Chain A
Amino acid sequence: MLKFTASIYKEFLVLIRDIGGLIVLFLMPVSMIFIITLVQDSTFRSIKELEIPLLMVNLDHDTMGNVLERGLIESDFFNIDHKMNDKDADEASLKQAVADGDYQIGIVIPEGITDSVRKNSMYRITQVLGEMGMPKDDSIPVKGVVTVRMYFDPVIKKSLKNAAMATVENIINRVEQKFLNKTMTAALSEFPPEKDLPDLIDTPTVTVISNYASKGQYDFVPNSTQHNVPAWTMFAMFFIVIPMSISMIKEREDGSLFRLLTMPGSYFTIISGKVVIYLMVCIIQFILMLAVGINLFPLLGLPKLILGSNIMALSMVVISAAFAAIGYGIMIGSIFKTYQQATSFGSVSVIILAALGGVWVPVYLMPNLMRTISSFSPLNWGLNAFYNIFMRSASLGDVMTDCLKMLAFFVVCLAIGVGMFKIRKEK
């Protein structure tokens, strides 16, 4: 026991005096979680919260133009301007402003659109009523299709563009429907008995409510915090590979390992000191990340991290992920001969595993092949487990498969590390 505690204390002293290592372990992940969450925050917010800058040229000045403009304002999606440099915008200047990136969206409502919609509605209704044997007014002229022109900044996200188009189309459809309703009411009112059709027609009979499915008591809303805290915690945990492999290689190079192995105790006593200390490091990293997500993010206007209620499952995931990261560190520290090799391979491989694991881009957005590859990344197992707890209120049983995968990964890496150590010793 004395050897074990001495190894832990020695590792602790070595670690706390390695300023570079501490920066990599604690400061870097905290900085990254801040930066990435702030950067990604807008992509997770609903369009309503963003207020996309929109330049409008309304040449209609009638019902359709006014309703469309009011509808866009009331939607709260857009921050609408009509003027540029104190002058009313025209289509050419609007197009230029959007191309310059001054506005993400430009809308031109053409002159006479209301008149066109009104006349088309009357034409359609009288044609339909005529087909039904009612008097037909052939004097109403048919109008061609009128186009509302929308311009988009080329860098706008496709989802944002689709959302904006859907909003505009929805308002136009509603206005067209109103015109049809009014026209039909007017036509039918000429025939007894008179009915109050407009109210009946305008009242929606189907509504849609959206919810995020969750197993537990919390109503989780996916946001940048819920995504980034677990993602970057996993990333940070795996970055222990750098100080850990350096410490192992240093010990081997300077002869300390030789000395230790000629002293009472086994290789496992030496390794176990590292395992315990880096397990503590991972747990502290996790607590630090949680503290940032819960206490500091709200101060910056970012969403507060919601932990969920299953602390047991969360602890199991943290410990399993920490073991997976430690195993990887031991393997890298045993395979590579020099710090340079270990640090470059270690950092690049962690970045690759993180990318594959869904730290940057969610796995469901990846192509099929990448999704398959992703399922072999230990960061993906950890991230899945964290998401299950943070966003789906998962139980211990729900995350057990991912935890077992991570623990198996630790065992495999440790076995490779010990095997490499034995091979190197005999070389």
Chain B
Amino acid sequence: MEPIIHIDGISKTYKGAETPAVDDITLKIYPNEFFGLLGPNGAGKTTTISMMCGYIRSGKGKITIDGKDISQHLSDIKQIIGIVPQDIALYPSLSARENLTFFGNIFGMKGKVLKNRIDECLEKFGLTANANKKISSYSGGMKRRVNLIAGIIHQPKILFLDEPTVGIDVQSRSIINEILAELNKKETTIIYTSHHLDEAEKMCSTVAVIDYGKIIAQGSPADLVSRYDKCETLEDVFLKLTGRKLRD
């Protein structure tokens, strides 16, 4: 099977930095995979995702998405990917419906199709009653849910999530994870970063551990747990690979 995302030897060194944020990474992500990119703070997860979705250019190497070179077909690729950033990337003075209408329009959606899709998503995420309230009046969990809807409103083929459940209550996290699992079932390829390793272990079909800009391990969670001695969970593997030293 052809990978839907093929990263071949990409590197990125930010201006003024002495060490690369991403250092010669090669990855293959296959269609319908739930792929977890795990690593400590500053490991290079966000930079890798930013390069995969075309926000920043890699210093060297090549990224192919859905068979297309990202450096040449970025506008086509943007149509099939969805991003859920770590931050609440919404307009606080706009309501959930207004935010989603705007992002839907940017994907070329309009009229009844867009309205129905927004209604469907709001219903699914339990936000219908508050759809017309300003985002600034929402709780953290509600904001996270709208943040996720904005990334999936156009039903992307590939969904990038950068710590989508950070700082929210158990209920919101649960509903988000349920919906992600459902999307993955409906053949959406998901690339996900998180510090919730128990969550990643449960949800991901494949994980890659990244540290200091390099992929240091890759495989299914069960495979990784079995690969390393005295490791019973993905968290044990993670700590074994990345150490206990605090990161900035």
User: What residues of chain A have their CB less than 8 Å away from a CB belonging to chain B?
Assistant: 2-3, 5-7, 9-10, 13-14, 17-18, 253-256, 258-265, 423, 425-427
5 contacts between A and B (CB under 8 A): A2-B105, A6-B106, A10-B91, A13-B94, A14-B93
Given the interface pairs A259-B150, A264-B79, A427-B15, the reply to whether A13 lies near B93 with Cβ below 8 Å is yes
Is B182 among interface residues, defined by CB-CB distance under 8 A? Answer: no
Is B53 among interface residues, defined by CB-CB distance under 8 A? Answer: yes
Given the interface pairs A2-B105, A6-B106, A426-B14, the reply to whether A259 lies near B98 with Cβ below 8 Å is no
Is B243 among interface residues, defined by CB-CB distance under 8 A? Answer: no
Contacting A at CB under 8 A, from B52-88, are: 53-57, 75, 78-79, 81, 83, 85-88
- Contact between chains at A427 and B110 (CB < 8 Å): no
Given the interface pairs A254-B90, A426-B15, the reply to whether A260 lies near B85 with Cβ below 8 Å is no
**B93 shortest CB reach to chain A, Å:** 4
Q: How far is the CA of A7 from the CA of B105 in the complex (A)?
A: 9
Q: How far is the CA of A13 from the CA of B53 in the complex (A)?
A: 28
Interface size class of B (residues with CB under 8 A): 35 or more
- Contact between chains at B107 and A264 (CB < 8 Å): yes
Report B81-117 CB contacts with A as 1/0, cut-off 8 Å.
1010111111111100010011101111010000000
Q: How far is the CA of A400 from the CA of B83 in the complex (A)?
A: 47
- Contact between chains at B90 and A256 (CB < 8 Å): yes
Q: How far is the CA of A263 from the CA of B93 in the complex (A)?
A: 21
- Contact between chains at A262 and B16 (CB < 8 Å): no
The closest CB in chain A to the CB of B50 belongs to A258
Picked from A13, A263, A423, the residue with its CB within 8 Å of the CB of B106 is A263
Given the interface pairs A262-B53, A425-B56, the reply to whether A18 lies near B93 with Cβ below 8 Å is yes
Q: Which residues of B contact A13 (CB under 8 A)?
A: 91, 93-94, 98
User: What residues of chain B have their CB less than 8 Å away from a CB belonging to chain A?
Assistant: 14-16, 50, 53-57, 75, 78-79, 81, 83, 85-94, 98, 101-103, 105-108, 110, 134, 150-151
Picked from A17, A253, A261, A427, the residue with its CB within 8 Å of the CB of B93 is A17
The closest CB in chain B to the CB of A19 belongs to B93
Picked from B81, B87, B91, B108, the residue with its CB within 8 Å of the CB of A262 is B81
Q: Is the interface of B mostly helix, strand, loop or mixed?
A: loop
Q: Which residues of B contact A9 (CB under 8 A)?
A: 102
- Contact between chains at A264 and B53 (CB < 8 Å): no
- Contact between chains at A259 and B85 (CB < 8 Å): yes
Q: How far is the CA of A2 from the CA of B78 in the complex (A)?
A: 16
The closest CB in chain B to the CB of A425 belongs to B56
Q: Is the interface of A mostly helix, strand, loop or mixed?
A: helix
The closest CB in chain A to the CB of B109 belongs to A2
Picked from A2, A17, A261, the residue with its CB within 8 Å of the CB of B108 is A2
Q: Which residues of A contact B53 (CB under 8 A)?
A: 262
**B109 shortest CB reach to chain A, Å:** 9
- Contact between chains at A6 and B102 (CB < 8 Å): yes
- Contact between chains at A259 and B83 (CB < 8 Å): yes
Q: Which residues of B contact A426 (CB under 8 A)?
A: 14-15, 56-57
Given the interface pairs A13-B94, A17-B93, A255-B86, the reply to whether A262 lies near B78 with Cβ below 8 Å is yes
Q: How far is the CA of A13 from the CA of B105 in the complex (A)?
A: 15
- Contact between chains at B106 and A258 (CB < 8 Å): no
Q: Which residues of A contact B75 (CB under 8 A)?
A: 264
**A243 shortest CB reach to chain B, Å:** 12
**B51 shortest CB reach to chain A, Å:** 11
The closest CB in chain A to the CB of B59 belongs to A426
- Contact between chains at A258 and B102 (CB < 8 Å): no
Q: How far is the CA of A142 from the CA of B139 in the complex (A)?
A: 100
The closest CB in chain B to the CB of A273 belongs to B102
**A406 shortest CB reach to chain B, Å:** 31
Q: Which residues of A contact B81 (CB under 8 A)?
A: 262
Q: How far is the CA of A426 from the CA of B58 in the complex (A)?
A: 10
Q: How far is the CA of A9 from the CA of B83 in the complex (A)?
A: 22
